[in-house]
Amino acid sequence: MIQDNMTHKNSIKTISILGCGWFGLALAKKLIGLNYTVKGSTTSLEKLAILQAENIQPFLVNFTAEAVMADPAFFEADTLFICIPPKRNSTELLDYPQKIDSILAAAKDKSKHAVLISSTSVYADENKTVNETSETHPDTDSGRVVLAAEILFKRLFPENCTVIRFAGLIGPDRNPGRFFAGKSNIPNGLAPVNLIHQTDAVGIAVKLLEKQAFGRTYNACSPNHPAKMEFYTNAAKSTGLAAPDFIAEKKNWKIVESINVPEFLDYTFEVGV
């Protein structure tokens, strides 16, 4: 499925994005603007027209732990982005690694490269700084299933497995000021935040394609880590919402850093946190 990255720089032309949700659609629009051919998937008939209106080739793709129902042409791409986070529903959450497995089976021998969008939830809050070389000890159910999907991906394609681990995503329609607005006695107010704006999430994915820096794991997180109480209080006030009240304590925290984003992508963050 995944070929080596010694291909000519101009060979990355067709991109398939499995899951045109909040991040996937923003990435698709950016790539269309950069003259890539983009195929986008949705599980909703109604959204096909939305994709088409953005000049994204629309595909209806449904997947379960057992099978993928899709036109095989969707997976015929230079790069496939798998942008489907695990569902919060407990049954679907546990099925997540099997869904990734069935998707990879459908893409086999069709997609030259595959990129799995993952999460920094694979790192536990162990009161330390972590990077791509750190061990993963997820302490949430979602973190555990995301890590299981990563491990499965790497076992299937050990030579060229690309994973982007996003920190907490903020940006359009995800106003962080609303998260804690008006609440009181919120614990862990001095813990650092690990966030990334949609602009930078998309920017890192685009840079990966431009550099063809496949075959690595990338932590995608802003280099700024203000305390929760500082960040969320400012975010609430800046949008006219009631300021939250935090307990000034530092318990159960982590700082997510990346050594691979600056070294292999040479990416400069556009939006501060």
Is 245 a domain residue? no
Let me know how long the chain is. Answer: 273
> What's the predicted TM-score (pTM) here?
0.93
How much is the pLDDT for 224?
A: 96
Is 59 a domain residue? yes
Is 71 a domain residue? yes
| Dihedral-angle region of residue 216 (phi above 0 means left; psi in -120 to 50 means alpha; beta otherwise) | beta
Q: What is the CATH number of the domain that holds 202?
A: 3.40.50.720
Is 77 a domain residue? yes
Are the beta carbons of 1 and 111 closer than 8 angstroms? yes
Q: Please report the DSSP string for 108-170 in residue order.
A: TTTEEEEEEEEEGGGS---SEEE-TTS-----SHHHHHHHHHHHHHHHH-TTS-EEEEE-EEE
Q: Per-residue pLDDT for 3 more than 70?
A: no
What are the tens digits of pLDDT across the range 6-52?
334 457 999 999 999 999 999 999 999 999 999 999 999 999 999 99
Is 242 a domain residue? no
Are the beta carbons of 116 and 82 closer than 8 angstroms? yes
- Alpha helical stretches, state H, 173-239: 198-211, 228-238
Number of domains in the chain: 1
Is 180 a domain residue? no
Whole-number Å distance between alpha carbons of 143 and 214? 23
How much is the pLDDT for 65?
A: 74
Is 248 a domain residue? no
3-state secondary structure of 66: coil
How much is the pLDDT for 94?
A: 84
Structural domain including 164 reads 9-172+195-223+255-265
What are the tens digits of pLDDT across the range 109-143?
899 999 999 999 999 999 999 999 999 999 999 99
Is 131 a domain residue? yes
Whole-number Å distance between alpha carbons of 204 and 260? 11
Q: Per-residue pLDDT for 98 more than 80?
A: yes
